[in-house]
Amino acid sequence: MEQVVANGIYLGSQYAMIALGLTLIFALMNVLNFAHGQMYVIGGFVTYTFYGQFQMPFLLALLMSCLTLTVLGALIEKFLFGPVIRRSAREESTMLLAAGIAFLLDAIILLVFGEKQRGVPKIVDGVFNWDFRIIMPYDRILICALAILSIVAFITFMQFSRTGRALRALAQDRDAAQLMGVNVNRYSMIGFALGAMLAGLVGGLLVTITGVNLGMGGPTSIKAFLMVMIGGAGVISGAIVGGFILGMLEAVGLAVLSQYGDITYLVIFVALMIFLTIRPQGLMGKPWG
Amino acid sequence: MKRRNLFTTMAAALALATVPATAALADNPVLKIGFVGVTSGPAAAWGISNQRSMETRAAWLNEIGGYKIGDVTYDIEIVSFDDQKDPKRAIAGMEKMAQEGIHYVVGPNVDDGAAAVRPVAEANGIIYFPYAFPKALYTAPASNAVLGMVANYQSGPAIYKYLKEEKGVKTVAFIAANESDPLSQRDSGLVAAEALGLEAVSANVTYQVDTTDFTPVLTPVIRTRPDLLVLSGVTPANAPQLIRSARELGFQGLISTETAQDAQVLRESAGDLANGFISVGGASTPEIASDMMKEFVARYTEMFGEYNDESNTKVYALEYILATLAENPAAINDVEAFKQTMDTFEVPNPYMKGDAVMRYVGMSSFGQRRQVAVPLVVNVFQDGEFETLFVAEVD
């Protein structure tokens, strides 16, 4: 049981980090970013390149992932999502654009980084073993701690910085924020870049544990959407709660249901459908949006 | 104006760049060989190693003047189609090959794709070389599919027998992705292991193919404390993660699979934790590779920047097609002639040292010669490289 809880916390911290960027972009721009998983993959490959290939310090490689995705996110918002949102009132326009960007990024990843699974040396050796009740490699513990630290830093930034307050105002009411002097275009770009940076950060962190390959983008996006649906779309705290709930459900399901085959996600999907029928706005979302 | 100039310059550069290639191809008639397989997604490494092996060999042959079949020398063109591991796409790919008049196709890479394209291939006179194991594809009345590698029901028993006799393995646990290929490989592996008297302590645990963290999945398997953990049908992307998680959970037994793996992927993603990992290797490990195989590896690396060990096996399909056509030029547009030639075809294997031959086998498994004869090479990963554990033959 202890192992299951430990696995759940570890998975939850990963998932919460993945969902944060997605829900931030949704909150700010009402955009379902289907390319979020691909951004995560690019973050992993950038860290792989700098840490695994060029043998630079891990933290520097992680910084490079964040920077790359920040720039990529800003460019995507400025030249793709921004103009489309201004020109089209139809929500499906941005959804189709996001899907197109996901395909494009997949193709670019294949061209630049190749088809193979990539991995990097462990950042910490050794395994924590508490009498075979909890077994957890130290690198997972470290990544879990870093993920939780990053979440706390992100919340602090959103809560107390001028930019964070502007972004929250934008998320709450775009028109009111504009009337209060918030430069909507500028902060939309900053928000999208921040969301992309979070994807890059978690990709860079997790490449040390899971490695990275070009096929990881789509499934990562799907899991991120699951978490956002559980927690409530566009709610930061909802994404965190959704991430931890999904991580715990997955850990418990894999432990309890393993003898019946791979039905964990089947059960999760059924439970989610029932849950959304009762509470379509998710745990922390508001019914009115 | 400036923009127009830029486009004009780019178009001119593109045109100039394509002229030599077109001119080189224009010297000889072109023989198109198809590839339908997975070149995107988590299993992309399987199909891309196929496609790149074919492209490398085709470029090599074209560079030295083409390939002579009868009195005609052909340039070889590879026509590729990414089926995305989707049977519907595989059918579309095979239909495209038929529309282009192609009679010889390599792929698909997985069971359901290979089964799905069978009617299209048979209706359009296409011989195809899948990397899929269902016996129905190769057993009469089916006759257009030729297995391009060693099947797990051929390699599995050999591996388990070796490990039972040499390493004292008594108990075995299987884990497989929840999709058709790995599950069928798990089932046939389970039958083979039990036939040898091994006790299967876990065989129900499966995982989603897009799983990235295997610790929760493996935890119940490792608790059964098997002597041998079999990763049935594992992809090169998942193998290092499974090995790493198993070792980190304290598993000290043997780990094996019946699929081909890539040493660099294991080295990068699992490091020393992959030491002792047993897999079915490519057919040309350093101990048995000929000079021609070494040149193939060098050319592949030069073309694509990095070699893939899976290509040790995947180099063969195109070679078999061309050599069989050279043996009977009438088969170039007549697959029935090709099938007749398969029964007697035998030429030296250029990729292996010694007196190895290329011939079609499969009488024991399929009752007809519908498998390429590549040696069954079982490798063990040690300190970043594959070492040959043992070599056997299949028929």
Compare all CA atoms of chain B with the CA of A38 and give the residue at the minimum distance.
B41
DSSP A181-220: T--HHHHHHHHHHHHHHHHHHHHHHHHHHH-B-GGGHHHH
CA–CA dist B23, B43 (Å, integer): 36
Can you state the angle between helices A162-172 and A2-29, rounded to 10 degrees?
80
Same fold, B2-149+287-374 and B152-259: yes
- The predicted-structure confidence for A131-165, as pLDDT tens digits, reads as follows 778 888 898 899 889 989 998 999 999 889 999 99
Assigned superfamily of B152-259:
Response regulator (3.40.50.2300)
Residue B4 has pLDDT above 70, yes or no: no
Helices (H), B27-110: 44-63, 87-99
In the predicted model, what is the mean pLDDT of residues B175-186?
88
What percent of chain A is predicted at pLDDT more than 90?
39
Going by C-alpha positions, the residue among A67, A100, A45, A81 that lies closest to residue A198 is A67
In the predicted model, what is the mean pLDDT of residues B38-44?
79
8 Å CB contact between B207 and A262: yes
Burial of B79 (0-12, 13-18, 19+ CB in 10 A): middle
Residue B22 has pLDDT above 50, yes or no: no
What percent of chain B is predicted at pLDDT more than 90?
61
Task: Judge: B40–A215 Cβ closer than 8 Å, yes or no.
Answer: yes
8 Å CB contact between B236 and A116: yes
Q: Where are the beta strands (DSSP E) in chain A?
A: 127-130, 134-137
B-contacting residues in A 224-283 (Cβ below 8 Å): 250-251, 254-255, 258-262, 265
Residues in chain A closer than 8 A to B241 (CB atoms): 210-211
Residue B19 has pLDDT above 70, yes or no: no
Who has greater pLDDT, B364 or B299?
B299
Compare all CA atoms of chain B with the CA of A111 and give the residue at the minimum distance.
B304
Considering the domain delimited by B2-149+287-374, tell me its CATH architecture. 3-Layer(aba) Sandwich (3.40)
Which of A52, A135, A254 faces B217 most closely, judged by CB atoms?
Answer: A254
Which pLDDT belongs to residue A125?
85
Which pLDDT belongs to residue B42?
66
| Average predicted confidence (pLDDT) for chain B | 88
C-alpha separations of A137 from A127, A133, B312 in Å: 4, 13, 35
- Alpha carbon A94 to its chain centroid, in Å, reads 19
- The predicted-structure confidence for A206-251, as pLDDT tens digits, reads as follows 999 888 988 888 888 988 888 888 988 878 888 899 999 999 998 8
CA–CA dist B226, B170 (Å, integer): 8
Residues, chain A, total? 289
Phi-psi region of B362 (alpha: psi -120 to 50; beta: other; left: phi over 0): left
Which pLDDT belongs to residue B23?
41
> Would an 8 Å CB–CB cutoff place B206 in contact with chain A?
yes
What percent of chain B is predicted at pLDDT more than 70?
92
Who has greater pLDDT, B391 or B21?
B391
Residue B393 has pLDDT above 90, yes or no: no
Burial of B74 (0-12, 13-18, 19+ CB in 10 A): buried
Residue A193 has pLDDT above 90, yes or no: yes
What are the domain boundaries of chain B? Answer: 2-149+287-374, 152-259
Confidence band of B20 (pLDDT split at 50, 70, 90): very low
- The predicted-structure confidence for A257-271, as pLDDT tens digits, reads as follows 877 777 888 888 899
| Average predicted confidence (pLDDT) for chain A | 89
Q: Supply A49's token pair.
A: 């390149």
Residue A4 has pLDDT above 90, yes or no: no
Which pLDDT belongs to residue B21?
41
Task: Judge: B40–A3 Cβ closer than 8 Å, yes or no.
Answer: no
- The predicted-structure confidence for B67-93, as pLDDT tens digits, reads as follows 999 999 999 999 999 998 899 999 999
Confidence band of B1 (pLDDT split at 50, 70, 90): very low
Which pLDDT belongs to residue B100?
95
Tell whether the torsion through CA atoms of A91, A94, A96 and A102 is positive or negative. negative
Q: Kindly report which listed range (B32-36, B37-41, B319-323) carries the lowest average pLDDT score.
A: B37-41
Which of B238, B248, B268 faces A127 most closely, judged by CB atoms?
Answer: B248
User: Is the reported ipTM for this assembly greater than 0.85?
Assistant: no
Residues in chain A closer than 8 A to B210 (CB atoms): 215-216, 218-219
Who has greater pLDDT, B375 or B13?
B375
> Would an 8 Å CB–CB cutoff place A120 in contact with chain B?
yes
Check whether the bond before B141 is cis (ω within 30° of 0).
yes
> Would an 8 Å CB–CB cutoff place A11 in contact with chain B?
yes
3-state secondary structure of B387: strand
- The predicted-structure confidence for B109-130, as pLDDT tens digits, reads as follows 988 999 999 999 999 999 999 9
> Would an 8 Å CB–CB cutoff place A215 in contact with chain B?
yes
Confidence band of B53 (pLDDT split at 50, 70, 90): very high
Q: Supply B254's token pair.
A: 């043997």
Residues in chain A closer than 8 A to B271 (CB atoms): 121-122
In the predicted model, what is the mean pLDDT of residues A78-94?
88
Task: Judge: A116–B308 Cβ closer than 8 Å, yes or no.
Answer: yes
Compare all CA atoms of chain B with the CA of A125 and give the residue at the minimum distance.
B248
Residues in chain A closer than 8 A to B218 (CB atoms): none
CA–CA dist B74, B51 (Å, integer): 19
8 Å CB contact between A77 and A188: yes
From A3's Cα to the closest Cα of chain B, the distance in A is 9
Which pLDDT belongs to residue A277?
92
Check whether the bond before B108 is cis (ω within 30° of 0).
yes
Residues in chain B closer than 8 A to A51 (CB atoms): none
Q: Supply B147's token pair.
A: 């297995």
Which pLDDT belongs to residue B286?
75
Residues in chain B closer than 8 A to A215 (CB atoms): 40-44, 210, 237
- The predicted-structure confidence for A93-143, as pLDDT tens digits, reads as follows 888 999 999 999 988 998 898 878 898 988 888 888 887 788 888 988 998
Which of A114, A255, A265 faces B216 most closely, judged by CB atoms?
Answer: A255
Which pLDDT belongs to residue B6?
42
CA–CA dist B280, B312 (Å, integer): 11
- Those residues with Cβ within 8 angstroms of residue B221's Cβ, 6 or more apart along the chain or in another chain: A258, B173, B175, B202, B205, B229, B246
Task: Judge: B216–A7 Cβ closer than 8 Å, yes or no.
Answer: yes
> Which site among A9, A11, A117, A252 would you substitute to test the B interface, given the most B Cβ atoms closer than 10 Å to its Cβ?
A117
3-state secondary structure of A289: coil
CA–CA dist B251, A202 (Å, integer): 28
